[in-house]
Structures are given as structure tokens and as C-alpha cells.
Amino acid sequence: MVQAKKWILVKHFDGFPKDSDFELKTEELPEPKDGEVLLEAVFLSADPYMRPFSKFRMNEGDVMIGTQVAKVIQSNNPAFPVGSHVISRGGWSTHTLSDGTDLTPVMADWPQDVPLSLALGTVGMPGLTALYGIEEVLGLQKGETLLVNAAAGAVGSVVGQIAKKMGCKVVGSAGSDAKVAFLKELGFDEAFNYKTIGSLEEALKKASPEGYDCFFENVGGPFSTVALQQMKDFGRIAVCGSISLYNDTAPQTGPYSHLTMIIKQLKMEGFMQSRWEHKHAESLKRLMAWVKEGKLHSREHITRGFENMPAAFMGLLQGDNIGKAIITV
Ligand SMILES: NC(=O)c1ccc[n+]([C@@H]2O[C@H](COP(=O)([O-])OP(=O)(O)OC[C@H]3O[C@@H](n4cnc5c(N)ncnc54)[C@H](OP(=O)(O)O)[C@@H]3O)[C@@H](O)[C@H]2O)c1
């Protein structure tokens, strides 16, 4: 018998999440049945999508949604031998039972010198998001200028590095001087702290006086309105996220950017990385190859202790993390 600890959403978030919205519960798990495996979480992920998805994918009383790198500790399913590692959608739980249908084995030849936690970051969902946003949505071309916001985060930091690798000029916006220093380390051409610049319009103009061909949008809200005005004619915008809106209790209203979009003839497309699920295996190999070649660097913001998961999640929503937010059990 295994005692599983689970974080439950006891109350739907109203505005910014609070400690009292979560409750830690312990549950005794039965032995795995035929075809089932028992998993132990090794690394858990805190991601912005958990905030909006909690609203339409969860009921009060559910285990918080999320992915984790887990180790198979008992197996009645030959596809997942004991000791192997999987990506599980088991949510915020230390232990879970699974029939295997929601599991993806971690890449077969995962190199020993690459931390397994990267399977939740650069060589996982956020890395795939960066890659698809650049290749499938923006169609970024060598020599173009790209703007990315939340640039020092899990997705943004990969976006900037892939764009640099492709021979583009990259401008990044982030919320602290330490994040800006990190972006410079990664090779971003220009980076600024949007919280201290005064005028976003001036900062964007200074970073790229000729404007932007592509904008990888992670933030939304007023940033977006200002950035759209700095696009070149026929600019492309990949709407990946809108984290500045996730905790709003009432929908934001205008200003509306239609006239800017018409006059500049812009193209804006929202996307979810899952659209290209059929490419994931191949794409993960490409991301791993870049990591091994030293072309893709990763930083992780590690919170130790399963009991600190709500704090890690709330920290992510207020910008505590540089790089990928990871929780170790
Ligand atoms: N479409 C998809 O398939 C997909 C997949 C993954 C992620 N996403 C989206 O991509 C974005 C980045 O995700 P991530 O996992 O890489 O997260 P992340 O960037 O590692 O962490 C979130 C960051 O957002 C910034 N932020 C938080 N509140 C903000 C606000 N009010 N205004 C501006 N910035 C704010 C903070 O950085 P600063 O200190 O710089 O403010 C924070 O560190 C999110 O919007 C997420 O929802 C979309």
C-alpha cells in the first residue's frame, strides 16, 4: 500500500490564487491491477495554463491538473517496466495508478548528462511550443527581427535561442534586471525590463527602430496593443499565451487593434502546441540534439518539496521564475 499525497482544488480561483484554494490530502492507493502501473513523481511542473484550464477543465474537489516526470515503481504493464521514466498527466500527486493510456515514455535514449527535468521544459512541452510557434505559425526567416515577451521563461527563453540559431535579430522583454542579464547571456540582441522602462513604445523603438517582422506573444493585454503598433507591414504574430489576463476577474476591454492590423496588413494566429502532436517525437529529438550541441541552454527555477507546489505555482504567476518552474518531491 502506498500513501499518495495530492493537492486538491477546493475552490475555483477568484482572481489571483490563494493558499486556501488548495488542500493537501493523503490517499491510500490499492495495488496496481492487471495492465496498470504505480508511479512515483520525480519532477512536477508548474505551468501558466493551469490557471485558465482550471476554470473549464476542472471541478472543485479535483486533483490539480499537471504533468510530471514519474518513475514506474510497480508494473503490471510490459510497456512500462519498473525503473523506467514516463511523462504522466497525473496532476499534483506524489503517486498515481495508471493503465498507461495517459503516459508517454521519456525519450528512449535520454542522455545521462541531461537532467530528466528538461522533459518538462526545453525538451518537453514548452520547448515544443517554442519550436511550433516559430516554424509552424510565424514561419520565421533568417535575417528577420523577432520580439518575444515573458522572454526569460520556459517558452520565451527557447524561442529566443532558436531564433538566434536561425540568424535572426531577437528582442526580449522580461520582468527583472536579473532576467534581462539572463537573456543577454543567452545571446538575445536586445533585452529590457518592462517594469522599469517607463515607455514600452520607446523601448521597442530603441531596440529595433525599423520595427518587427514577428512577435511571439506570451503576455497579451496592454503590452500587445503597444507591440502591434511596432510591427512592420505584413508582420506576423503568434499568440501563444496571454498570462497578463489569466487572473482577471472581469474581461479586459480595448483599446482594439483592428485599424493597426488593417493598415499594417498583419497576420495574427493563436495556437496550442498539441495541434502538432504527430510531430512531437521528431521535434523532441531535434530539441535534444540542440541541447547536446550546446545551442540550447536551459535554466530551471527549482522549488523543493511537494508541500510547496501551490507556492511554486503562485510564484510562477507573479514572475518569480527564471527559466522553467520545476518542483522536486
Ligand atoms: N499555446 C500553447 O500551446 C502554450 C504552451 C505553453 C505555454 N503557453 C503560454 O506561454 C506563456 C509562457 O509560458 P511559460 O510556461 O514559458 O511560463 P514562464 O514564462 O516560464 O512563466 C510565466 C512568466 O510570465 C510572466 N508574467 C506573469 N504575469 C505577468 C503579467 N501580468 N504581465 C506580464 N508578464 C507576466 C512572468 O515573467 P516576467 O517576470 O517576465 O513578467 C513569469 O515568469 C504563457 O502565457 C503560457 O500560457 C502556451
The amino acid occupying position 106 is V
Domain check: are 70 and 183 in the same one? no
How confident is the model over 253-274, as pLDDT tens digits?
Answer: 888 899 999 999 999 999 999 9
The answer to whether position 66 is within a domain reads yes
| CA 91 to ligand 1 center in whole angstroms | 20
Q: How many angstroms is it from 1 CA to the middle of ligand 1?
A: 39
Judge if 267 and 133 occupy the same domain.
yes
Which atom of ligand 1 lies at the shortest distance from residue 48's CA? 47
| pLDDT for res 33 | 97
The C-alpha angle 42, 44, 48, rounded to 5 degrees, equals: 170
Residues 112 and 224 in one domain: no
Cα angle for residues 20, 26, 29 (degrees, 5° grid) = 145
Domain presence at residue 30:
yes
Domain contains 236: yes
Structural domain containing residue 189: 125-271
Q: Is the pLDDT of residue 108 over 90?
A: no
Residue 283 lies in a domain: no
* 168 in the same domain as 108: no
Judge if 137 and 72 occupy the same domain: no
The beta strand positions in the chain, using DSSP E, are 2-9, 22-29, 37-45, 68-75, 85-88, 95-98, 103-105, 145-148, 169-174, 190-193, 212-217, 231-239, 267-270, 300-304, 324-328
* Angle formed at CA 294 by CA 291 and CA 295, multiple of 5 degrees: 80
Residue range 107-135: mean pLDDT, rounded: 97
Q: Quick one: 245 and 180 in the same domain?
A: yes
State the DSSP string of 56-78: HH--TTSBPP--EEEEEEEES-T
Residue whose Cα lies nearest atom 6 of ligand 1: it is: 126
Looking at the fold, whether 70 and 100 belong to one and the same domain comes out as: yes
64 plus 159 within the same structural domain: no
| Ligand 1 lining (C-beta closer than 6 Å) | 47-49, 126, 129, 150, 152-156, 174-176, 179, 218-219, 240-241, 243-244, 271-273, 316-317, 319, 321, 325
Of 252, 271, 290, the residue that ends a domain is 271
Index of the ligand 1 atom closest to the CA of residue 132: 3
Q: Which residue has the higher pLDDT, 252 or 295?
A: 295
Question: What's the chain's average pLDDT?
Answer: 97
Q: How far is the CA of 85 from the centre of ligand 1 (A)?
A: 27
Q: How far is the CA of 129 from the centre of ligand 1 (A)?
A: 12
Give me the mean pLDDT over the 48-71 stretch.
97
What is the predicted pLDDT for the residue at 278? 98
Q: Are residues 156 and 175 in the same domain?
A: yes
Pairing of the two strands 145-148 and 212-217: parallel
Q: What is the CATH number of the domain that holds 170?
A: 3.40.50.720
Kindly give the distance from the C-alpha atom of residue 190 to the centroid of ligand 1, in angstroms, as a whole number.
19
Residue 299: all three cell numbers together = 535554466
Kindly report the CATH number assigned to the domain that includes residue 78.
3.90.180.10
Whether 289 is covered by a domain: the verdict is no
Which residue spans within 240-323 are E strands per DSSP? 267-270, 300-304
Cell 527555477 appears where? 301
Does position 219 have pLDDT exceeding 90, yes or no? yes
Q: What angle do CA 281, 137, 147 make, to 5 degrees?
A: 110
Residue 184 included in any domain: yes
pLDDT mean over 168-191: 98
Domain count, the chain: 2
In-domain check, residue 278: no
- Same domain for 156 and 226? yes
Decide if 77 contacts 105 (C-beta within 8 A): no
Taking the CA of residue 243 as reference, the ligand 1 atom at the shortest distance is 45
Which atom in ligand 1 lies closest to the alpha carbon of residue 52?
Answer: 47
Query: At residue 251, does pLDDT exceed 90?
Result: no
Residue 233 lies in a domain: yes
**Per-residue pLDDT at 39 exceeds 90:** yes
Cα 36 to ligand 1 centre (Å)? 35
Residues 145 and 215 in one domain: yes
Q: Find the mean pLDDT for residues 52-59.
A: 96
Same domain, 137 and 237: yes
